[in-house]
């Protein structure tokens, strides 16, 4: 049994900062893979797995090697012969502005149909609104069904992050419906305040907190960027404060790294203030580096 299994898409990342070099650098990223990496860095070896699909192309092969080097198990990442790994580019111009381009329509992960037979056993499963967005409506329903059944059968925890990317969805209504259904099966909540306001139309942070406070969560936190997280599964501790990052280069994986560090601390049995502090510190360190995966300390 794994401690954590994350479910989603990983893509090859082409990154260029023209202020430093005209050359492109290749990496790998995707919200759920990023979270797996940062959880693995905070847990014993062999405890974190990524569940997805990739191709049999050279970049897919390089990803498998990269994930292994990061301590993430990929035994449950299927290799699909007629599809490729997704691809995106990030380019930073001389003024520091970033531009993104995506080639993911033929991504192997888009055909993922979660199957109870192939889903490995875990204490926690983590998925996101991006996971849902890349799937067909049938794939979304299947994912939610399988995870709900697994939680009922084994008592595992289901963690969800409403990571909202409007352009990935066929409509706002489809996004709102699917994300609301995901919250119904989750018991660990890792939302961001901006995403929740955009999805559900909450006018402010207090409204988001009130909505989440209307039900009981086993654990979780509302991510508020530099303002620091607010716990959802326990009362707010007035003695805990969160210093903003001192050096911000790239906020790409801020929320993903928070998720990974938070869940790792939860799995270690840390109390809520320690989980929040560790997760915020991880995110603050990650945003000081370019790219989704920061160098190992």
Q: All domains of the chain, ordered by start, with CATH? A: 2-286 (3.40.1190.20)
Q: Output 51 or 237, whichever has higher pLDDT.
A: 51
Q: Return d(Cα 252, Cα 101) in angstroms, integer.
A: 14
pTM of this structure: 0.94
Average pLDDT over residues 219-234: 88
Inform me whether the pLDDT recorded for 235 exceeds 70: no
In this prediction, what percent of the chain has a pLDDT beyond 70? 96
Q: Return d(Cα 89, Cα 191) in angstroms, integer.
A: 26
Q: Return d(Cα 130, Cα 256) in angstroms, integer.
A: 12
Decide if 112 contacts 37 (C-beta within 8 A). no
Q: In this predicted model, what pLDDT tens digit does every residue of 87-137 receive, in sequence order?
A: 999 887 776 667 888 998 889 999 999 999 999 999 999 999 999 999 999
Distances (CA, A) of 203 to 34, 133, 196: 30, 24, 10
Query: Which residues are tagged catalytic?
Result: 256
Q: Return d(Cα 96, Cα 91) in angstroms, integer.
A: 9
β pairing state of 98-103 and 86-92: antiparallel
Least Cα distance to 201 among 160, 172, 163, 222 occurs for 172
Average pLDDT over residues 209-231: 92
pLDDT band per the 50, 70, 90 thresholds, residue 145: very high
Dihedral sign computed on CA atoms, order 15, 21, 24, 27: negative
pLDDT band per the 50, 70, 90 thresholds, residue 239: low
Least Cα distance to 256 among 18, 83, 57, 72 occurs for 72
Decide if 18 contacts 91 (C-beta within 8 A). yes
Q: In this predicted model, what pLDDT tens digit does every residue of 274-287 receive, in sequence order?
A: 999 999 999 989 88
Q: How high does pLDDT run on average in the chain? A: 92
Strand order in the sheet with 86-92: 25-29, 11-17, 86-92, 98-103
Pure H helices in 155-235: 172-185, 193-200, 205-212
Give the CA angle between residues 106, 110, 112 to the nearest 5°.
135
């Amino acid at each position: 049994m794994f401690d954590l299994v994350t479910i989603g898409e990983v893509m090859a990342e082409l990154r260029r900062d023209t202020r430093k070099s005209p050359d492109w650098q290749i990496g790998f990223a995707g919200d759920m893979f990023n979270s797996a990496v940062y959880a693995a860095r905070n847990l014993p070896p062999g405890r974190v797995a990524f569940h997805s699909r990739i191709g049999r192309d050279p970049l897919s092969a390089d990803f498998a090697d990269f994930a292994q080097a990061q301590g993430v198990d990929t035994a449950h990442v299927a290799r699909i012969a007629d599809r490729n790994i997704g691809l995106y580019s990030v380019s930073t111009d001389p003024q520091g502005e970033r531009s993104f381009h995506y080639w993911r329509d033929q991504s192997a992960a888009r055909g993922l149909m979660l199957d109870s037979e192939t889903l490995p056993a875990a204490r926690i499963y983590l998925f996101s609104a991006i996971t849902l967005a890349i799937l067909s409506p049938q794939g979304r329903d299947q994912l939610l069904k399988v995870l709900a059944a697994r939680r009922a059968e084994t008592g595992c925890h289901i963690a969800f992050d409403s990571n909202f990317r409007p352009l990935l969805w066929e409509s706002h209504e489809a996004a709102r419906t699917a994300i609301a259904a995901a919250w119904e099966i989750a018991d660990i909540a890792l939302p961001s305040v901006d995403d929740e306001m955009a999805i559900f139309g909450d006018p402010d942070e207090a409204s988001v907190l009130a909505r989440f406070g209307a039900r009981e969560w086993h654990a979780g936190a509302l991510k508020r960027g530099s303002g620091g997280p607010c716990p959802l599964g326990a009362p707010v501790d007035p003695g805990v404060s969160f210093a903003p990052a001192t050096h911000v280069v790239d906020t790409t994986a801020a929320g993903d790294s928070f998720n990974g560090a938070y869940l790792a601390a939860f799995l270690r049995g840390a109390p809520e203030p320690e989980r929040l502090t560790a997760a915020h510190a991880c995110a603050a360190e990650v945003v000081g580096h370019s790219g989704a995966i920061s160098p190992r300390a």
